[in-house]
Structure 1
Amino acid sequence: MWNSNDTRPRVMTYVRRDPRLLADQIRPFQTRDVLWLTINGMTVVNFYRQNDEKDALNTLLRWPVPERCLVAGDFNARHRSWQTGQATNRGQEIAGWASDNDLDLLNTLDVPTNPYGNTIDLAFTNMPLAKATVEDHLATSSDHFTLSLTLPYVRPAPLQPGKVRVTTEDELKRFVEIVEFGATEVPQADSTPAELDELAFALTEECAGAAAAFRAIRRIYPRGFNQDVQMAKRGLHRMVRRAKRQYWRNLIDSFSSSGAVYKAVRWLKSPGPFQPPPLQVDDIVYETQMDKANALRRATLERRTSDEDIVNPWTSVCPPRSIQFSPEISLDEVQYATLNTGNTSPGSDNITVDLLKTVWHIVGTHVRRLFEGCLSIGHHPKPFKEAEVVMIAKPGRRDLTSPRAWRPIPLLSCLGKGLERLIARRLAWAAVHYNVLHPQQTGALPKRSATDLVTALIHDIELAFAHKKVATLVTMDIQGAFDTVMRNRLVLRLRKQGWPDHLVRWAESFMGDRSARVRYQDTITPFTPLQCGLPQGSPVSPILFLLYTEPIYQLCNPQGHFGYADDTAILSIGDTVDEATAAASGSIDEMVRWSAANGVSFDPKTTEVMHFSRSKLRTAPAVRHGDIEKHPESALRWLGIWLDSRLSFRIHVEKWAAKAQAVAYHLRGLTNTKHGPLPAAVRSAVRACIEPVLLHGSSAWYPGTSRPRWNQLTKDLPSSNQNLIQRMTKAMNQAMRAILPVWKTTPIAALH
């Protein structure tokens, strides 16, 4: 980490983006003057030494030189090996170091590497047939000549399997023919788990094999410092700037659809091209891509074991209800669950939704047989349990050295997700219909959104205000979320809730024998087994997680429990703030005891507290989460909505209006009175990218032009939110100026 010229790095190595090049940075020493890279099994060292500075050279001399190594850089030293004359600036030590490590000097004797006639840029290697050439005609605007190094044959990195690209009409036509020809070999038996596995494998292999046949797989100018060359260089830069400006202007002017403008909006969040830093887990630092991939796999996918799971989930139970869940499935239901979704990234089988749509008239009946057989006997096929997990950085995270900054995105089989989506929809409907879940438990349920849940929470707080009471809100997060779910505990929970045995056995099979491999940058790890946890990215995981955590919302004060997925909130109401705080602490203690007995844990670091009162509180007591005191916040964000102690929502509006205004400024920068996309296309982008951000949560906090009195609910008062509306209006005015080709001085009234 550097923050000034005294700590900034003084060496930099660029590596071309090429699938045949696998580059990793290693750090045997912490220094800003030496950069070590391993590229396809070869170690490349970029070195810089400033005049008589000792630290950089001492570091290099201590470093053990490996095989297949190249060391090059500015040594600022003389020795008769590369320049005749007396040795200076520790040149003798450098020559001795090279000799002791069997490093050959690639420089030609007395060929200068700078305009002053000195040979100070050196290259050493222990690889045979390497050579170096001083290319003094390749200008780099530096006082050094370019030293061109040619290395012997470097073995290319193994190419990782790419994704299937079958897009043209001819390719799709031939793809259908191949699948149609191979469909005659699809197994007809589907009554046992082994036969269902064989059927699923045959369907995925048939489509994947058919698609695999159609896989789509310096500036130079003379060096010079006279005025003519400098003028020519300046003219070239101006011409390049004009060409770039004209290119982007033509590109923006060509935007005629809303889709093109949406892509332009994403320019605002384009990721940087730099490689992520080494990963640190506990006290161990991982530097190579494969080591980082394996470390992230252990930290994100294998952080929990099945040690806390129960042994036998099939003990006798007495459920309070009997839930009807038919194993019969129609072809229309299968088609809707499998194909009525976006063309998301496929799993390891490379079968996309679009490919399934193309051949559905051939494989549809086989897929229905497969799905119905799986649900009837309670089995999830093995090919659907293999996931490819892509690690991406979480938005807004600057410290990428921690595993918590990375989000695992599993890519599952699109065919398998069709079965999971079908069961998830049935589960969600039945859970609501049979009152299995708490009324204030949302997420993955129809007609229950996060905003609706916060609206219910705000209503309860306002009701406490009306009765002159104080409310304390505690928000908690289930640590690990899906990873905490254990198979046998889930099976027992489903049986206690009254779900039929064939569905419970399917859930048991769904969680068993799962495996995953991690894709990180240019590397892929082998498949490894997963002991517990619901798979991220599966359509059925959210509803199974809600059913698994359902007992939480039946603990003390059920009316004060609110939950969305793994986010839980407890609202405690009392006549005084001390009374509400004591009730909140008691609720936390009961939830912690339940979690300890059920293999679930709440992360104290993410627990937040907020006191709500109509009048200013004299004290703000803390709430205890275990041995940790959690002091109340000035503003608390829950499910995307900012809450303050008096429910003024000023902070919420300011934050979301600022986000919307940033996008509005970005869109406005693409347009003016002469150039830019069509107004209709920009208007669609504003409706899709600015208005939802600006109005986020408005149904929860905006009462309209009037609101009820706290002490007389039958009488209304003028709403006090007009100043918030004015803040939102500023962002919307910027959006209107982006849509319309108007001048900066155009009155706002004319925009409307």
Structure 2
Amino acid sequence: MIVIQHNCNGTAVSTIAALEAAVERGAEVVCLQEPYVGKKHAIGHPGFQIRWPECAKRETRVALAIRNDALDRYVFEERTDLVDSPHIQCLDVWETVNRRKARRTRLVNVYNKARVQGGGYTMDHVDVSRLIEGRTILAGDFNARSPLWDPWVAGRQNAGTVERLIEKRELIINNNDHQPTRCGKNCRSIIDLTLSTRRVGALVTWEIDESLATTSDHEVIVFEWAPLNAAVAERQINASQNWNINRLCSDEQALEAASEHWLELSEGRSLINAWDTSPTELEAEALWIQDSLRAVLDRHAAGRAPRPRSKHWWTEEIKQQRRLFGSARRAYNDGRTSFDEYRRVRNDYYTHIRKAKRLAWERFLEGVFPTDESSKLASDPARCWQALRYTKPQVPSHTPAIKVASIDGQPDKIASTAEEKEGIFMAQAFPPQVVDNEDIQIPDTSAGVSVKQVREALFTQSVNKAPGLDGIGFKVLRLLWQWAEDRVVALVQGCIRTGFHPYTWKTAKGVLLRKQNKPTYSVAKAYRVISLLNCLGKVVERAVAIWIASYCETNEVFHRGQFGCRQGRGTSDAVAQLVAKVENAWSQKRIALALLLDVKGAFDRVNKQKLLLRMIQVGMAGNIVRWVNSFLSDRRAMLVIDGRTGETRSIQAGLPQGSPISPVLFILSVSAMFQWLEDRHMKLQAISFVDDIGLVTECDDVEEGARKLEHIARDAIQWGSDNKADFEVSKTEVLVFSRRRGILQATKDAAIRIGEQTFTVKQEATKWLGFWLDSKLSFKTHFENRIASAKGALQRVSSLSRSNGGLSADLMRRVVVAAVTSVALYGSEIWWRGQKDRVKKVQLLLNSQHRS
């Protein structure tokens, strides 16, 4: 494995130049010290996944960049359980054989900062006994000088800790003691060290690559350790396909050839009879379509193997400037030129990079293709939305070590390896359920879907949705519809008529995503798993979802207070109903109280048996019930964590997040609870948006209301227990709505008890469904937060409009309306009453928009 280490001196130019050097040298990992950290955005690169310490970005002094195509050949485990510091990162790199772990090398990225909290240097506060174990390499800026590794220093400067570490751990110094790693105006020094343990031995390669110099005064260091064996060193083939569907669709000749190829493959293969078919035939047809499509795409849409690429503005002109800078740097180090001349060439190099980056951004915003100076403005309006995405902070895709709370007062456990994390997230996303052997009598009734509904199920799904394991996305399925509409319709109708979901479509690829704005990402609950399913299977799922939603609306199966996953019923409608209930209570001189509950796990914990019984109870067709039973049976999943795909495991639980049918099945599963509660409690109104539930009631005084909410909560939890639907009791919130000062004063002493937990009345505004609800329903906090968010969005959007280049006025207006105005006025149909103070603030925001 090839690794680059470099101190970037905190500049964006040096950081990008170091990553570009890694692309050219073929380095899989880059250890960066003092990388650029902007006020709003961290640095990014299309060829690398950049990992930062789990702390505020402004405090960090290190970063690890892992080349994207290396994620499938190695297993990278970030060991935040061994060191959790903004100045040190620990990465276990596992070489693999047949995609299984074979040998571990620990890579420690160090910036030995002085005067850290607690005194001394960073290395003084590290437990090296745990950190340096087996095959370990420490690479970084140690900020220490000693004759042990630096012949240019007469004495010792801050070297005690590092010297003791080298001696005690018998570390090998891989540096060349005749090559300084930092060249300042008046001195040369070796402070960037690469140390390895005896288990690693001396590195195969250690060199300073002067041809890849950046504007930092530190050198670019390249080192390599020996691979496990020659076979392991070879590039393993990525199992995922890299088809170029866009190129195929834009090339009429290639598209015609692909169509003819499909006709050749399907010649002689008869269509299935949707009205008289069997699960075996449906399974075979689904597998044949999948294999045939892949064969067509392999021949006519073959793309390039994935490889790291440079930023598009990193041109040959910049490389030439780098060569000139490298020559000037060598001349200065050898005493053949002055520092002023060296600095002039360095500044030219720096200026060329900044200019190239700025021009590329301006050309992109203006729609000018960077390779053609005379190109006219592009007319594609999607450019503005892509530009808007670029202004948002990047969300990290990796996971630190995960803490697992222990019971009985034992210390928390730490999951640091890929296998340990996989086990935790599988248990959270797909919790095991007790198998209910209750015999269900499914009625012998049938319902089907029309060709129009099948077409709707296919074409209403975005072509940008990620495909499942087979790699076949909706853009390919739209081509298939042109080539074999009758075959697609027959398969979809046959699956629904038979009540069977092919096994080929049941293996999900689980992708781990971070939830937004969590205080820490070292706990499993800060993540969610999204299931990427077979897209042709999603067409069947969408068709059944449309049928179920239509049936439930027609037969009034859903509760009137259920919002979300229902056409024309959004969050604003749910909050408007709550406001209406509260204002009705006020009109009768009463107070209103709300109990906000959250269904635990929601989709992940839906009980299949209870769901099927509910479907039968409301009179759904037997084949629809059988299809849902088939869809939720014999499922499998594999998790992708930090680029590594885990083992395929059988799962029993819940509804897959990512399926188009899961939302409607979830709200169907809980729909009976709301009417049941309203029947048991007078003046209660149940309002919900998917799994966020608000139970609103009214009473004459706070104490009476508190007791009433306790009874409502007890009954809701009892219903959940009887129907295998648990609540996240710890997330419960209690609200009281009144404009009378005496009532609000009384709420400070009020509390309700649910099980073993006690909840007080919230005194500050509470966020529910995107709205900040205060006790007087003034929405003052909501308005202030929306205006603040809009101002932040305006700052980002302003960078898209410049006096000397930027988006056109028309595109800029679209972006401002979508990203700023809509944010500020979210929910205004509820809170807007022409308040003068709000008029003024909205007008100031509009004025700022016009100026930007």
Q: TM-score range by the shorter chain?
A: 0.7 to 0.9
**2: CA distance, partners of 1:27 / 1:459:** 50
- 1:489-500 mapped onto 2 (5 Å cutoff): 489-500=610-621
Residue 466 to residue 387, structure 1, CA distance change in 2 (3 Å) = same
Q: Which residue of structure 1 lines up, in the alignment, with residue 93 of structure 2?
A: 39
CA distance in 1, matches of 2:689, 2:722: 22
Q: Compute the displacement of 1:38 (Å).
A: 3.1
In the alignment, residue 278 of structure 1 is paired with which amino acid?
A
Match of 2:846 among 732, 737, 740: 732
Choose 681-690 or 570-579, whichever is displaced more. 681-690
Q: Distance in 1 between matches of 2:621 and 2:665?
A: 14
The answer on whether the counterparts of 2:449 and 2:493 sit within 8 Å (CA) in structure 1 is: yes
Alignment deviations for residues 563-593 of structure 1 (CA, whole Å, 9 cap, x no partner): 2211111111112222222222211111111
Q: Report the equivalent of 1:668.
A: 798
Secondary structure (helix, strand or coil) at the match of 1:657 reads helix
The equivalent of 1:609 in structure 2 is 734
Which of these residues, 578, 585, 599, is aligned with residue 457 of structure 1? 578
1:306 paired with 2:458, answer no
Q: Once structures 1 and 2 are overlaid, which stretch shifts more, 280-289 or 639-648? A: 280-289
1:545 correspondence with 2:666 = yes
Q: Distance in 2 between matches of 1:639 and 1:573?
A: 21
Q: What's 1:632 paired with? A: 761
Please say if 1:579 is aligned against 2:704: yes
State the 1:536 CA deviation: 0.8
Distance 1:643 1:603 in 2: 21
1:251 aligned residue: 364
Q: Residue 569 and residue 359 in structure 1: after superposition, are their counterparts in 2 closer, same or farther (change >3 A)?
A: same
Distance in 1 of aligned mates of 2:717 and 2:540: 35
* d(CA) in 2 for partners of 1:648, 1:628: 30
Gaps of 5+ in 1: 317-321, 703-718, 739-752
**Aligned-pair CA distance for 1:553:** 0.6
In the alignment, which residue of structure 1 is the partner of 2:811?
681
Q: 1:669 to 1:311 in 2, by over 3 A?
A: same
Aligned in 2, Cα 1:313/1:270: closer, same or farther, shift over 3 Å?
A: farther
**Distance in 2 separating the partners of 1:2 and 1:517:** 26
Map 1:55-94 to 2 at 5 A: 60=128, 65-66=133-134, 70-72=137-139, 74=142, 78=147
Residue pair 2:204, 2:223 contacting (<8 A) in 1 also: yes
The residue correspondences of 1:516-595 to structure 2 (distance < 5 A) are 516-558=637-679, 560-595=685-720
- The normalised TM-score by structure 1 is 0.84
| Aligned-pair CA distance for 1:664 | 2.6
Residue 512 of structure 2: aligned partner: 391
How much does 1:462 deviate? 1.0
Deviations 1:225-252 (A, max 9, x none): 8233234323433443344333333333
Greater CA drift, 38-47 or 677-686:
38-47
Residue type of the alignment partner of 1:264: A
Measure, in 1, the Cα distance between the counterparts of 2:218 and 2:849: 50
Cα-Cα RMSD = 3.7
Query: Is this contact kept in 2: 1:437–1:547, CA < 8 A?
Result: yes
Q: Give the letter for the 1:539 counterpart.
A: P
Secondary structure of the residue that 1:328 maps to in structure 2? Answer: coil
Instruction: Show CA shifts across 1:138-173 (max 9, x none).
Output: 767788766543444572564352453322224433
Alpha-carbon distance change, 429 to 233 in structure 1, aligned in 2, over 3 angstroms: same
Q: Could you give the per-residue CA deviations for residues 519-541 of structure 1, whole angstroms, max 9, x where no partner exists?
A: 23321112211111011111111
DSSP-derived class of the 1:269 partner: coil
Report whether the alignment pairs 1:296 with 2:460.
Answer: no
Q: Which moved more, 1:347-356 or 1:657-666?
A: 657-666
- Structure 1 Cα separation of the partners of residues 740 and 843 of structure 2: 30
Q: 2: distance between equivalents of 1:598 and 1:447?
A: 29
> Aligned partners of 2:439, 2:489: CA distance in 1, in Å?
30
Secondary structure, counterpart of 2:694 in structure 1: strand
Tell me the distance in 2 between the aligned counterparts of 1:550 and 1:80: 72
For residue 149 of structure 1, give the secondary structure of its aligned residue in structure 2.
strand
2:781 is the counterpart of 1:651: yes
8 Å Cα contact 1:79/1:95 also seen in 2: no
For residues 727 and 553 of structure 1, the distance between their equivalents in structure 2, rounded to whole angstroms, comes to 40
What is the one-letter code of the residue matched to 1:681?
Answer: L
Aligned to 2:204: 130
CA displacement 1:46-71 (0-9 Å, x = unmatched): 5677999896599557766535x545
Q: Does 1:23 align with 2:150?
A: no
- The alpha-carbon distance between structure 1 residues 602 and 112, as it changes in their structure 2 partners (threshold 3 A), is closer
Q: 1:30 corresponds to which letter in structure 2?
A: V
**Counterpart position of 2:837:** 723
Aligned residues of 1:612 and 1:646 also touching (Cα < 8 A) = yes
Alpha carbons of 1:143 and 1:89: their partners in 2 closer, same or farther (altered >3 Å)? Answer: farther
Q: TM-score, normalised by structure 2?
A: 0.74
User: Where does 1:167-206 land on structure 2 (aligned, <5 Å)?
Assistant: 167-168=246-247, 169=251, 170-184=253-267, 186=269, 188-189=271-272, 191-206=277-292
Change over 3 Å in CA distance of 1:627–1:29 after alignment to 2:
closer
Give 1:84 shift: 14
Counterparts in 2 of 1:96 and 1:211: CA distance versus 1, 3 Å:
same
Amino acid at match of 2:291: E
Structure 1 counterpart of 2:296, from 197, 210, 232: 210
SS at structure 2 position matched to 1:549: helix
Shift of 1:505: 1.3
Q: Which amino acid aligns with 1:598?
A: N
Deviations 1:170-224 (A, max 9, x none): 4433332222222236564562222222222222222233223323238462154
How far the C-alpha of 1:404 sits from its partner, in A, is 1.7
2 CA distance for matches of 1:80 and 1:561? 72
Evaluate the alpha carbon distance shift between residue 112 and residue 180 of structure 1 in structure 2; reply closer, same or farther with a 3 A threshold: same
- Letter paired with 1:335: R
Residue 280 (structure 1) aligned with residue 410 (structure 2)? no
2:454 equivalent to 1:334: yes
Per-residue deviation at 1:549?
0.8
The amino acid across from 2:449 in the alignment is I
Aligned equivalents of 2:211 and 2:804: distance in 1? 43
Amino acid of the structure 2 residue aligned with 1:130 = V
**Counterparts of residues 44-55 of structure 1 (less than 5 Å):** 44-46=107-109
Establish whether residue 271 from structure 1 lines up as the match of residue 382 from structure 2: no
Which of 824, 827, 833 is matched with 1:694 structurally? Answer: 824
Using the TM superposition, give the Cα deviation of residue 136 of structure 1 relative to its aligned residue in structure 2, in angstroms.
7.3
State the 1:479 CA deviation: 0.5
For 1:208 and 1:632, the matched residues in 2 are separated by: 58
* SS in structure 2 of the partner of residue 464 of structure 1: helix
Residue 240 (structure 2) pairs with residue 161 (structure 1): yes
Specify every segment of 5 or more residues in structure 2 that has no aligned partner in the other structure, as ranges: 1-52, 96-104, 115-119, 305-318, 333-337, 368-377, 406-411
CA distance in structure 1 between the aligned counterparts of 2:528 and 2:460, rounded to whole angstroms: 26
Q: Secondary structure at the match of 2:492?
A: helix
1:429 aligns with one of 524, 547, 550:
550
Q: Is the 8 A contact 1:79 1:86 kept in 2?
A: no
Asked whether the 8 Å contact 1:482–1:533 carries over to 2, the reply is yes
Rounded Cα–Cα distance in structure 2 between residues aligned with 1:293 and 1:736 = 50
Q: Read off the aligned partner of 1:435 and give its amino acid letter.
A: E
Contact 1:588–1:625, Cα closer than 8 Å, also in 2: yes
Distance apart, 1:614 and its partner CA: 3.0
* In structure 2, C-alpha distance between the alignment counterparts of 1:186 and 1:697, rounded to whole Å: 55
Identity across matched positions, percent: 24
